[in-house]
Amino acid sequence: MSPELKLKPMLLSALRQGFRHLLRFRSLPPDLTHHLSVVVIAPHPDDETFGCGSWIAHCRKQGLPVRVIVLSDGAASHPHHPVCRPDDLISRRMEECRQACLCLGVESNSLEFWGLPDGRLDQLSTPLQTTTLQRLRNLAEQTPSQLWLIPSRLESSTEHLAARQLVLDALASSRNSPRLWEYWIWAWRNPLCLLPALVRGDLYRYAPPDSSMKIQAISCYLSQITATAPWTQAVLPPALLQAWSCSEEFFLGASLMIGRHSLVSWGHRILHRLGLTEQGSGRPVPAAALDQEYASGAWDHFYSPAERPRFDALLNMIESWGPTPSLLELGCGSGRLVSLLPPGKLRRYMGVDLSKEGLKRAQALGHPQGEFVQADFEQWKPDQLWDLIVFNESIGYARHPARCAAAFARHLSPEGRLLVSHFRHGDSALHWEALEQKFQVEQHVTVSNDRHQHWDLKMLRLNS
């Protein structure tokens, strides 16, 4: 475990609260649109609840399948207890985990106990390690566009770090790499362990409107949160239980892209909070990160039925402009939009995207009118006028969305229009506010799906 700071309990509690404020300041709201399912890797029964119970409950409410994998048998939580036998403890903790997961909306058929020896995840025998790695690879390859929640690199628990390493070793040779988010539990023992989270990768925060589901799930783990006679104290420290019981949860994007980009991103966020940057600023993503996301299938959700209502609305807007327009798509990704436009619908099509991996998929579609350019669209300039310029879920990645849109509007034909599709999330309201200071809205359609996801699609004309 991480060493606990030698501070009085009140000071340590205040330090934890201080770090929560810093993490809130640094964090972004999480986004479910990239994912079709969620997998939680828990080293022990109860880690899924303490580490990400609120997020699990939210995903289930949104209709996403959640699968919980408990790696160890949990037999080592009461070492040297005079009465509690390991076999009885295993059965008890499994039943507690089933009940807790039900409180979070996860049915028993989506909960798996792999029974690895508790306390020895970092010392597995070679056959057992090989079998575990293969099971994890199989799990990754069963479903595309998965989000995996795994123990964080910030933990000092050997069990949690060993569980994380098993996942990373398995995925290194998997044909499908899910997106990884890291959760932490024991790092709250010494909040200074969380310092790297302030400058590493993407940090996400989820705070549910109702904390009752997580609290109810935690209450199922009586073997951990209450004393087991003849012991007079619970095995989990009360101060840490208080920290873990908070419904607010943080996740660290498992990206190895550390350093300048993270520091710059954090700096921009601070300046924005202080009112020193333009309102409605976007959040650019490096090309390497986009390539990794396309390779892992994180953007395959554009091809899912959940996205089809939005694409249908966008196609109707394109058709409403008139027959056979020329269309420039900025942030075309893997080419989903042009794949829905049969040959002859457009006079000319060009797609621009920063991701080489995304464009490789777009070109593989073989659309006869598909022209693609790899470029940062904020730096790239078209060499002709276009009837329609489309930002299809991409305007939020511009550094200055409104400024960028206005610059491209100068490359529209006399009757040309801008089309913007934007998921309702994060700073989208600020982006629209900035855009509508420069543009008139000629059409506005709101689209929702059965997952309660919402998009705004607007046809814009630059103010004269």
- Residue 406's nearest CA partner among 461, 457, 458 is 461
* Alpha helices, H only, 118-221: 126-142, 158-172, 212-218
Q: What is the pLDDT of residues 20-47, one digit of tens each?
A: 999 988 888 887 766 779 999 999 999 9
- Residue 396's nearest CA partner among 268, 281, 273 is 281
**Lowest mean per-residue pLDDT among 356-370, 381-395, 443-457:** 443-457
Is 282:401 a contact under the CB 8 Å cutoff? yes
**What local confidence, expressed as pLDDT, does residue 33 receive?**
64
Average pLDDT for residues 104-116, to the nearest whole number?
Answer: 97
Strand partners, 147: 38, 179
Reply yes or no on whether the pLDDT at 255 is more than 60: no
Q: Which domains does the chain have, with CATH numbers?
A: 9-277 (3.40.50.10320), 300-462 (3.40.50.150)
What is d(CA 14, CA 8) in angstroms, rounded to the nearest whole number?
A: 10
* Secondary structure letter of residue 327 according to DSSP: E
Per the listing, tokens 């705070």 go with 207
**What local confidence, expressed as pLDDT, does residue 351 receive?**
97
Average pLDDT for residues 57-79, to the nearest whole number?
Answer: 94
**What local confidence, expressed as pLDDT, does residue 268 receive?**
45
**What local confidence, expressed as pLDDT, does residue 7 receive?**
55
Helix, strand, coil fractions of the chain, as percent rounded to 5: 45, 20, 35
Per the listing, tokens 């479910």 go with 32
φ, ψ dihedrals at 308, nearest 5°: -60, -40
Reply yes or no on whether the pLDDT at 359 is more than 70: yes
Q: What is the pLDDT of residues 286-307, one digit of tens each?
A: 888 889 888 888 788 899 888 9
Reply yes or no on whether the pLDDT at 263 is more than 70: no
φ, ψ dihedrals at 436, nearest 5°: -75, -5
* Secondary structure letter of residue 82 according to DSSP: S
Q: Checking phi first, is residue 57 left (phi over 0); if not, alpha (psi -120 to 50) or beta?
A: alpha
Q: How many helices (H) and strands (E) does the chain have?
A: 15, 14
What is d(CA 104, CA 214) in angstroms, rounded to the nearest whole number?
A: 7
Average pLDDT for residues 148-162, to the nearest whole number?
Answer: 91
Looking at the chain, how many residues does it have?
A: 464
Strand partners, 461: 440
Q: 3-state class of 369 per DSSP?
A: coil
What is d(CA 278, CA 280) in angstroms, rounded to the nearest whole number?
A: 6
What is d(CA 125, CA 127) in angstroms, rounded to the nearest whole number?
A: 6
Q: Checking phi first, is residue 145 left (phi over 0); if not, alpha (psi -120 to 50) or beta?
A: left
- Which pair of structure tokens corresponds to residue 464? 């004269």
Q: 3-state class of 293 per DSSP?
A: helix
- Residue 173's nearest CA partner among 138, 131, 143, 145 is 138
Q: What is the pLDDT of residues 422-450, one digit of tens each?
A: 987 656 777 898 899 999 999 999 998 77
Cα 265 to its chain centre, rounded Å, is 17
Reply yes or no on whether the pLDDT at 452 is more than 70: no
- Which pair of structure tokens corresponds to residue 84? 């509690």
φ, ψ dihedrals at 50, nearest 5°: -65, -40
* H or E segment and range at residue 37: strand 37-42
Is 75:89 a contact under the CB 8 Å cutoff? yes
Is 393:422 a contact under the CB 8 Å cutoff? yes
Strand partners, 182: 150, 252
pLDDT band with cut points at 50, 70 and 90 for residue 201: low
Q: Which amino acid, 388?
A: L
| Prior bond of 230 cis (ω within 30°) | yes
**Widest CA span of the chain, in angstroms?**
85
Is 27:267 a contact under the CB 8 Å cutoff? no
